[in-house]
Amino acid sequence: MKRSTFIAAIAAGAVGLTTLSAMARDRGPDFSALDADGSGEVTLQEMQASGQARFEATDTDGDGFLSVSELEASVNENAKARAERILARMDANEDGKLSPEELQNNRRDPARMFDRIDTDNSGGISAEEFEQARAEMRKRGRKSRDNN
């Protein structure tokens, strides 16, 4: 397989795989968008078609490849959309800006979170406790995605 074909195949596969992860994070197409035939199930072919459509939308010059600038533009577009969703959710006074108070009101209690991570109650978080907390967060994230 030629190197350029191989790279394009990897990029197309990655875009296809991101369809699932994006859907799981509520940032991509919803179920009904993926279920193109309306059967109530998403098939591999439908998922691949969605991934191909995302690839084609990202390939703005239509050359069949994703350049750094095209990927960067896609990432920037996604980041902008995410920032807009965050602002809409957290901007209590709807002034288009987030104040420290608005940010604080939307956070979990840091002291309570610290206490949960500090499992040996030493008043500090060890590297082991930190890694254990990260593993638990990843585990909860996977369970959350699996249940959606």
pLDDT in tens, 84-131: 998 998 899 999 999 988 887 766 777 888 888 999 999 899 999 999
Whether the Cβ atoms of residue 119 and residue 132 lie closer than 8 Å to each other: yes
Number of structural domains, the chain? 3
| Shared domain check, 45 and 3 | yes
| Shared domain check, 76 and 16 | no
How far lies 102's CA from each of 14, 33, 69, 92, 114, in Å? 36, 34, 35, 7, 21
Q: What percent of the chain has pLDDT over 70?
A: 74
| Shared domain check, 74 and 54 | no
| Shared domain check, 38 and 75 | no
Three-state DSSP string of 25-88: CCCCCCHHHHCCCCCCCCCHHHHHHHHHHHHHHHCCCCCCCCCHHHHHHHHHHHHHHHHHHHHH
Please give the Cα distance from 59 to 15 (Å, whole number): 11
pLDDT in tens, 38-56: 898 888 898 889 889 989 9
- Residues ≥6 apart with Cβ < 8 Å to 58: 15, 66, 70, 71, 73, 74
| Shared domain check, 72 and 61 | no
143 lies in which domain range? 108-148
**Which band of pLDDT confidence, cut at 50, 70 and 90, is reported for residue 139?**
confident
Directed axis angle between helix 68-90 and helix 44-58, to 10°? 100
| Shared domain check, 74 and 34 | no
**Which of the pair, 83 or 144, is modelled with greater confidence?**
83
